[in-house]
Structure 1
C-alpha cells in the first residue's frame, strides 16, 4: 500500500503517533507537516532539498522496515554531486526485539537522478517494526 500526503510518500503503514522527519542540511520543499499513518512531523532542514521520502519494507515480510528512499536535490536549484555528496540517515522507533526508542543507522547510495537508496546495515537484525523518526543528514559534495 502506498500512501502520499503533502509531498512525502510512505509505503505501508507507519506506527501511529507522532512521526518526526528531521533533516540536517536538507530543506522541506513540500511544506509538509503531517505524514500518512503517522501524525504530525517535525522538519528541521537547510542546505539541500528533500522532495520526498518513502520507507522501504523487506520484500518477504512487510512488517520489517529496512530502509528509506529519498528524493534529494541541491539547494538553490543545484544538483548534488553524486560522487562526492554524502547522505546518511537514522531510523528511530521499535527494533526487531521490540525495544522502543531504538535507532538503526542507514547507509545511502545514489540510485538515479535525485534518488538516494538508504538501507540498514544488517537487514536481518537492524530492521525496525515501527518507525517514529527518520533523521537525514546531507553533506553536499563539490
Structure 2
C-alpha cells in the first residue's frame, strides 16, 4: 500500500509541474505543446496571431545541429482548417551566430502538403541561423 501511495504522490507532483511549465503568450492561443524548453536552455515565448497553433518545433541545420534555421508549425483556423493558401510569416528571436542576443531573423513559410505542416526558414541557412532561440512570433493572414 505504501508503494501505491508513493506512486500516486509522484504522479500528482509530476502533473502539477507539467501544468505550470507553459510559456505561451497570445490571446486565444490554443496548443498541444507541453514544453517550450529549447536548445540553449530556458523557455521560448510563442505568439501566434490569426490562427490556432497545435504544434511547433524548431529546425536545426542537418550538418551543424547547434544552428537553428527555422520552425515547423501545425496550424489551424479559428473554427476550421487553415487554407493552404494562407500567408504565414514568422520571426525568430535569439542569439546570433556572432553571439549577439535579441537578434531577430525573419522566416519565410510555405505549406508542405506531404506533412500538412508549414515549413518556415530563414533567408540563408548558412549565415542567418541562431544558436539560442528565445521567441517565435507567427502571423497568419487567411
Q: Answer yes or no: same fold by TM over 0.5.
A: yes
Could you say which structure has the higher helix fraction?
2
TM-score, normalised with respect to structure 2: 0.71
For the 8 Å contact 1:107–1:121, the answer to whether it is kept is: yes
Aligned to 2:37: 36
Normalised by the length of structure 1, the TM-score is 0.71
Instruction: Give the direction of change, closer, same or farther, for the CA distance of 1:44–1:136 in structure 2 (3 Å limit).
Output: closer
The aligned runs of 1:125-140 (5 Å cut-off) are 125-140=127-142
Which residue of structure 1 lines up, in the alignment, with residue 90 of structure 2? 89
Q: Cα distance 1:45–1:123, how it changes in 2: closer, same or farther (>3 A)?
A: closer
The number of aligned residues is: 119
Secondary structure of the residue aligned to 1:135 is: strand
> Following the alignment from structure 2 to structure 1, what is the Cα–Cα distance between the partners of residues 64 and 30?
31
Cα drift, residue 44 of structure 1: 4.9
Contact 1:106 1:121 in 2 (8 A): yes
The structure 2 residue matched to 1:73, chosen from 76, 98, 101, is: 76
Which runs of 5 or more residues in structure 2 are unaligned?
1-17
Identify the residue that residue 51 of structure 1 maps to in structure 2: 54
| Deviation of the 1:96 alpha carbon | 1.1
**How far did 1:106 drift?**
0.3
Larger radius of gyration: 2
1:122 aligns with 2:135: no
TM superposition shift of 1:54:
0.2
